Structure 1
Amino acid sequence: MRDKKISLMIFCAIAIALNIVLGIVTSSLKLPLYLDTIGTIFVAVYFGPWYGATVGALTNILTGIIFNPKDIPFLLVNVAVGLIVGFVSKKFKWSLVSSVITGLVLSVVCPLIGTPIGIWMYGGLTGTGSDFLFLWLQKVGNTIFVSSFIPKILNNLLDKIGSCVLVWLLITSLPKQFTRDKLFNSNM
């Protein structure tokens, strides 16, 4: 039992590190993607919603401590990703179809949660090329919420669907000895 817990902790630590590294890379390159939830999605599919939510929360807490405290409130987005993906993958087999549909749901839910936080922390700007769309939407008379929300939806469509499909591809390509049941030989 102790070995299983240690294995799970190591697995979650790797997922957190993956989230942080991919988030840093996309941010440094000023890409209109986040990719900072791939580890959260993987853990949520493999171990369930609560583990996914924990990985999501710890990702943002650690990023906030190490790099920028303003990242901490966005843990609400990452927790929502873990919960939604975890519950979907528990109820339905994680397939290409379920990963795309879940990505679509996340493409709306994440901006609904993240937009108010982004407005509060950064005035709605993201530091990426999508800021041009934000500024244009404001200039033509939209509210700050709408101006910030629309670019985030567009970013999240690619990011969340892509992340969910990448995790599906990863899981389906893993050798049989790396299935959750084989790795941990019991229900978590």
Structure 2
Amino acid sequence: MKRLNHSRCRINDCAYVVAISLGLNILGSQAVTYLQLPAFLDSTGTILAAVLLGPLFGSLVGLLTNLIEGFFIYSGLYYFAIVNILIGLVTGVIFKKYPFNVKYVVITTIILALIGTIVGNIIAYYLFGGITGSPIDDVTRYLVSSGMSVYNAVFVSGFIINLFDKIISFVLVFVIIGFFQKYVDKCYLNIKFDDKTN
């Protein structure tokens, strides 16, 4: 019975985290669109789920985010699902092995920015000609008008925006995890909280 109760706790915890993570991604994405911010904020929840539950759930949240937004908002987002999946996978793997502290958050932020830039820009460049209808396009257009080639402009603007985006995302995740550790059964999480978030 104890094991059954633990299993139910695990399922409930996972369901709550996944639901909240999906909500964060969609809310963040829509806030960026509405406010025309130079960021994405559609992977904050992906990172949160990956840190708390591991790479499988992180990837799942990333995939579901793009499927939902692609269906209801803009079909072009389907193509970028691989980026969100990789963010969840890489983040989950890193924090399953290493502590969730400032050092590894900085390292992961840079890695995710590079992944988002390289994979996302390949998709943006070859499928959309470098212009995807997001606030990042303003930076790309400015760089092109300054004499930079479209390919280089897409890469540079992509890295700048991705780095800024992931910094914001991890700050939010730090804050949210401070809340989660009070309410979630820590025994089943991807990370340990003690001395990990300092």
Q: Answer whether TM exceeds 0.5 for this pair.
A: yes
TM-score w.r.t. length of structure 2 = 0.82
Matches within 5 A, 1:15-34: 15-34=21-40
The answer to whether the 8 A contact 2:13-2:184 is kept is no
Pair 1:119–1:79, CA change in 2 (3 A)? same
Pair 1:108–1:88, CA change in 2 (3 A)? same
The answer to whether the 8 A contact 1:96-1:168 is kept is no
Which secondary structure state, in structure 1, belongs to the residue aligned with residue 57 of structure 2?
helix
Cα displacement (A) at 1:162: 2.1
Pair 1:129–1:110, CA change in 2 (3 A)? closer
Mapped to 2, the partners of 1:129 and 1:15 lie a distance apart of: 23
The structure 1 segments of at least 4 consecutive aligned residues displaced by more than 6 Å after TM superposition are: none
**Cα RMSD between the aligned structures?**
2.2
- Residue equivalent to 1:41: 47
- Residue equivalent to 1:158: 164
Cα displacement (A) at 1:11: 2.2
Q: Which has the higher contact order (CA 8 A, sep 6+)?
A: 2
- Residue equivalent to 2:119: 113
Pair 1:13–1:63, CA change in 2 (3 A)? same
* Number of equivalenced pairs: 184
Mapped to 2, the partners of 1:20 and 1:61 lie a distance apart of: 11
The answer to whether the 8 A contact 1:45-1:85 is kept is yes
Residue 92 (structure 1) aligned with residue 101 (structure 2)? no
Unaligned runs of 5+ in 2: 1-6, 191-198
The one-letter code of the counterpart of 2:47 is: I
The answer to whether the 8 A contact 1:100-1:165 is kept is no
Range with greater deviation from structure 2 (121-130 or 92-101): 121-130
Mapped to 2, the partners of 1:128 and 1:109 lie a distance apart of: 18
Cα displacement (A) at 1:176: 4.6
Pair 1:7–1:58, CA change in 2 (3 A)? same
- Residue equivalent to 1:64: 70
Mapped to 1, the partners of 2:53 and 2:98 lie a distance apart of: 14
Pair 1:187–1:170, CA change in 2 (3 A)? closer
Unaligned runs of 5+ in 1: none
Cα displacement (A) at 1:179: 4.2
- Residue equivalent to 2:88: 82
Identical-pair percentage:
31
The one-letter code of the counterpart of 2:118 is: L
TM-score w.r.t. length of structure 1 = 0.86
Which secondary structure state, in structure 2, belongs to the residue aligned with residue 93 of structure 1?
coil
The answer to whether the 8 A contact 1:95-1:168 is kept is no
Mapped to 1, the partners of 2:43 and 2:33 lie a distance apart of: 13
Cα displacement (A) at 1:68: 1.0
Provide, for residues 127-174 of structure 1, a one-character-per-residue CA deviation record: whole Å limited to 9, x for no partner.
Answer: 455434422433455443211111111111111122123212322x22
Mapped to 2, the partners of 1:129 and 1:62 lie a distance apart of: 21
